Structures are given as C-alpha cells and as structure tokens.
Amino acid sequence: MPEMFQYPLLSFARVMIVALGITVAYYALEGYRKLESGPMLWYSIGFILFSLSMVIQGVLFELSLTSIFTAIYAQTIIMATGMVFVLYALWCEG
C-alpha cells in the first residue's frame, strides 16, 4: 500500500494546502486582470509555486522517485522561489 494512504490526515492536509494556494493564486490573478496591478501577478505566481512545491514533493516521495531528503529539498527550492515572487510583489509599485 502506498505510504500516502497510510496517513489519511496528512494526505488531506496536503490537498487542503494545495487547494487553498490555488484559490489564493486565482483571486490574485483575477485582481491582476481587473486592476491591471503588476504586484497581483507576482502574488499569483508566488502562490502557484507554493502549491506546486507541495505537489512536487508529494509526487517525488510518494511514488518513490527520490528519497525524502531530495523531495523536501526540491520542495524547499520551489517554495523559496515562490517567496521571492511574493517579496518582489511587496516591493514593486503597482
């Protein structure tokens, strides 16, 4: 049995984090479209990367494509990149 199904609460939490991240990214993208505000685009990209990092880590580890350390390393790099986009959105002018 895949390890993902041995911890249903953890799997549920991962799905919820991804769903919330995508929701925030969607609303930020809508804000960008309506207001033509550059920072909203960067927020959207940042939250998409946050969500993508959870998916990548889960896929790499759960499908045993890599070790847990490599999967977490990949997640950390992608999440840090998302944080850079959010930080840039805070600094740039609309």
In the structure, what pLDDT confidence band is assigned to residue 60 with cuts at 50, 70 and 90?
confident
CB contact set of 31 (below 8 Å; sequence gap of 6+): 37, 40, 43
CA distance 32 to 55: 25
Domain ranges of the chain: 18-91
Mean pLDDT score, 19-30: 92
Give the end-to-end CA distance of the chain in Å, rounded to a whole number: 50
pLDDT at 40: 92
- pTM, 2 dp: 0.80
Q: How confident is the model at residue 1 (pLDDT cuts 50, 70, 90)?
A: very low
- Split at pLDDT 50, 70, 90, the class of 78 is very high
pLDDT score of 75? 93
